[in-house]
Amino acid sequence: MNTLLHVRNLKTYFNTEAGIVKAVDGVSYHLKEGETLGLVGESGCGKSVSALSILRLIPNPPGKIMDGEVIFEGRDLLKMSEDEIQEIRGNRIAMVFQEPMTSLNPVLTIGLQIGEVLELHRYLPREEAKEEVRRLLKMVGIPDAERRIDDYPHQFSGGMRQRVMIAMALSCNPKLLIADEPTTAVDVTIQAQLLEIIKELTARLGTAVILITHNLGVVARYVNRMAVMYAGRIVESGPAVTVYHHPRHPYTIGLLGSVPRLDQPRKERLIPIEGQPPNLLHLPPGCSFYPRCAHRFTRCAGERPELRNVGTEHLVACFADF
Amino acid sequence: MPDDILIEAKKLTMYFPITKGIIRQRKVAEVKAVDGVDFYVRRGETLGLVGESGCGKTTLGRCLTQLIRPSAGEVYFEGLNLCQLREDQLRSVRQGMQFIFQDPFDSLDPRMAAGEIVAEPLRVHTRIRGRALREKVAFLLRVVGLEPSMAERYPHEFSGGQRQRLGIARALSIRPKFIVCDEPLSALDVSIQAQIINLLEDLQAEFELTYLFIAHDLSVVRHISHRVAVMYLGKIVEIANRNDLYLSARHPYTVALLSAVPIPDPLVEASRERIILSGDPPSPIAIPSGCNFHPRCPLAIEACREMKPPLVEIAPGHMVACLVRGRTS
């Protein structure tokens, strides 16, 4: 399959009063057409910023994309003019955010909001747009779509609002959907509904997905490949099965080992990753994970490990071999 | 009441009125946050309380500790009916009960140094002052894995996990018997959650604590709890020992909840059947007739529309409120 997206050496920094925060510091990954990639990591690891950088949605100031390439369908999004990237946003690449209430306009009806997207991007006349909105709402499983088209966002539950966001995102048949923690604000039973919808619809439309999440379980069920981020860098990437069954980076190993699992007998004691999450203002000179690493040695303190190949499509940024 | 029960709720009920009007307020509806709940927690045990947002689990924790006075029902703490006590009488009882909150950012006063935060309950409830107080604070900080020298720092200088440790030190300061942990992990990073879980377990063993552990993450609840109660729209629908609940859940809601939890293993997930519940949890203002769960229930029968199922013991210690599956096997 063809490569749809290629991110190379992306660097996004934020200028703060306390100093420069290297939120994304040299991230590279690629995505094939129709593929689902999971971007996993804890808060502040740069997973959202790296995705927002793809569409150049980083507020400047304080943020700035310092370096790198984002090749999408053969063109570098970072070199496009504002008008050109506007054509891509919402059209070829769509996004679903974590909090649907803040991404929807509270004073417009759901029908008008989705209709606006269709008029702007697909140039549909108003009546046709309305018909299409009905179809989209039905597609994401909103019951009684005929009537609810004239409702306002506050009349929808959290899960239903997120369905509206998914309908809106998919309304222009994008080639790529970026879902940034799409289920973090909803309950588990609703989370399951939403992820199934995203999976089913993107498979039907042939849309590639970048699924950003901190939930290791979500990634396991819904992605083909995954990349684990820590302190602004990818520390491990590969096919999901490989990363889950043969994790090589001490951070990935620690993360997988520290969560209790429902399908296994209860462990007497959890094995946590010691220490605190990194402060991006004061990263150690060598490996960012060094202070918390259970397998560190002297080389890690002074030298930063680059990603290296350890198996089929399996990359790890660690000096140690397990 | 058997001796080993520390706290027990009987028909505990909390309805919040919804009022209309500015000058003369009239009650137009009620939010039935907690609706006639019975349960107990044994001494030294952890009772997990799971349910989705809005099911009333936080309100239940607050009613239990009388942070809000329940609208009906009784709470017995060491045999004493708390609901009949006046505010001033409650004060001494409150020493025995503490709260650990969800958000370590909102629940610590940003203008108080860490040492002050931990010392405050001691100043209120005890006569410890001066050097003894400073030593006690240093001891508490060490117990939760912080440096005594951090007493001078302010909350914003701590990370989320450290803040939660501070909240735990504050809760421990007056040696409570019972702690309500209200979603103590949900604001924390995955890698920090295990640290706090281990800390809570260690403290339970060391100080003989009893926990009510409120959470929505079922895998964490299984790990930390001895018994687990499942709540749906203000009612407990199933309560059982940890293993009974996870291995032989009876209530269709519990079954669906367990099935919705994703397992961090692609191969397991690929072969796993999932029950996807349709619809959203209804609002606690407009509670359905009959069984609260029947509009979403895959097993609902005609009778479920009319009858509220009672909580029935189907095996020793395993209670289920379901007309279809709540029979002794």
pLDDT of residue A94: 94
Q: How many residues can be counted in chain A?
A: 322
Write out chain A residues lying below 8 Å of B261, CB-based: 188, 217, 262
Domain membership of residue B170 as a residue range: 110-174
Within this chain, do residues B23 and B62 fall inside the same structural domain, yes or no? Answer: yes
Write out chain B residues lying below 8 Å of A220, CB-based: 262-266, 268-269
Within this chain, do residues B259 and B219 fall inside the same structural domain, yes or no? Answer: yes
Within this chain, do residues B233 and B87 fall inside the same structural domain, yes or no? Answer: yes
Per-domain boundaries in chain A: 3-92+172-316, 105-171
Q: How many residues can be counted in chain B?
A: 329
More confident residue, B12 or B274: B12
Within this chain, do residues B119 and B256 fall inside the same structural domain, yes or no? Answer: no
Within this chain, do residues B73 and B127 fall inside the same structural domain, yes or no? Answer: no
How sure is the predictor about B1, in pLDDT bands with cuts at 50, 70 and 90?
very low
Strand order in the sheet with A63-72: A19-32, A3-16, A63-72, A75-76
More confident residue, B187 or B218: B218
pLDDT of residue B329: 54
For chain A, which residues score pLDDT lower than 70?
A: none
Contact between A42 and B261 using a beta-carbon 8 Å cutoff: no
**Angstroms from A184 CA to nearest CA on chain B:** 11
B-proximal residues of A, 180-199, CB under 8 Å: 187-193, 196
**Angstroms from A217 CA to nearest CA on chain B:** 4
Q: Does A218 touch chain B (CB under 8 A)?
A: yes
Write out chain A residues lying below 8 Å of B277, CB-based: 189, 192-193
User: Rounded distance, CA B19 to CA B197, Å?
Assistant: 41
Q: Which of A214, A266, A274 sits opposite B190 (nearest CB)?
A: A214
Element (H, E) at B32: strand B26-42
Q: Does B263 touch chain A (CB under 8 A)?
A: yes
| Three-state DSSP state, B87 | helix
Within this chain, do residues B83 and B117 fall inside the same structural domain, yes or no? Answer: no
Q: Does B219 touch chain A (CB under 8 A)?
A: yes
Interface test with A, best of B263, B274, B285, B296 (most A CBs within 10 A): B263
Average the pLDDT over B104-111 and give the result.
87
Give the CATH fold of the A3-92+172-316 domain: Rossmann fold (3.40.50)
Segment B127-168, tens digit of pLDDT: 999 999 999 999 999 999 999 999 999 999 888 889 999 999
Is B293 a domain residue? no
Contact between B260 and A240 using a beta-carbon 8 Å cutoff: no
Q: How many CA atoms lie within 13 A of B287 on its CB side?
A: 21
Contact between A267 and B258 using a beta-carbon 8 Å cutoff: no
Write out chain B residues lying below 8 Å of A270, CB-based: 194, 197-198, 223
Write out chain B residues lying below 8 Å of A191, CB-based: 260
Write out chain B residues lying below 8 Å of A221, CB-based: 262-263, 266, 269-270
| β-strands B227-232, B210-215 pairing | unpaired
- Provide the percentage of residues in chain B whose pLDDT is more than 90: 72
Q: Is the pLDDT of residue B2 over 60?
A: no
Q: How far is CA A132 from CA A118, A120, A136, A140, A250, in A?
A: 8, 14, 6, 13, 49
Within this chain, do residues B122 and B232 fall inside the same structural domain, yes or no? Answer: no
The mean of the pLDDT values for chain B is 91
Write out chain B residues lying below 8 Å of A245, CB-based: 265, 267
Within this chain, do residues B10 and B90 fall inside the same structural domain, yes or no? Answer: yes
Provide the number of structural domains found in chain B.
2
**Angstroms from A10 CA to nearest CA on chain B:** 25
What interface predicted TM-score (ipTM) does this complex get? 0.85
> Which of B174, B209, B230 corresponds to the end of one domain?
B174
Write out chain B residues lying below 8 Å of A47, CB-based: none
Within this chain, do residues B86 and B124 fall inside the same structural domain, yes or no? Answer: no
> Which of B155, B174, B193 corresponds to the end of one domain?
B174
Q: Quick one: closest CA in A to B223, which residue?
A: A266
Q: Quick one: closest CA in B to A196, which residue?
A: B276
Element (H, E) at A93: strand A93-96
Within this chain, do residues B169 and B183 fall inside the same structural domain, yes or no? Answer: no
Q: Is the pLDDT of residue B304 over 50?
A: yes
Q: Which of A143, A191, A262 sits opposite B263 (nearest CB)?
A: A262
Q: In terms of DSSP H, where are the helices of chain B?
A: 57-64, 87-94, 114-125, 130-143, 160-172, 190-207, 218-224, 242-247, 252-260, 266-270
Segment B175-213, tens digit of pLDDT: 999 999 999 998 888 888 999 999 999 999 999 999 999
**Angstroms from A77 CA to nearest CA on chain B:** 32
A-proximal residues of B, 91-120, CB under 8 Å: none
pLDDT of residue A44: 85
CATH assignment of the domain containing B35? 3.40.50.300
How sure is the predictor about B320, in pLDDT bands with cuts at 50, 70 and 90?
very high
Within this chain, do residues B46 and B189 fall inside the same structural domain, yes or no? Answer: yes
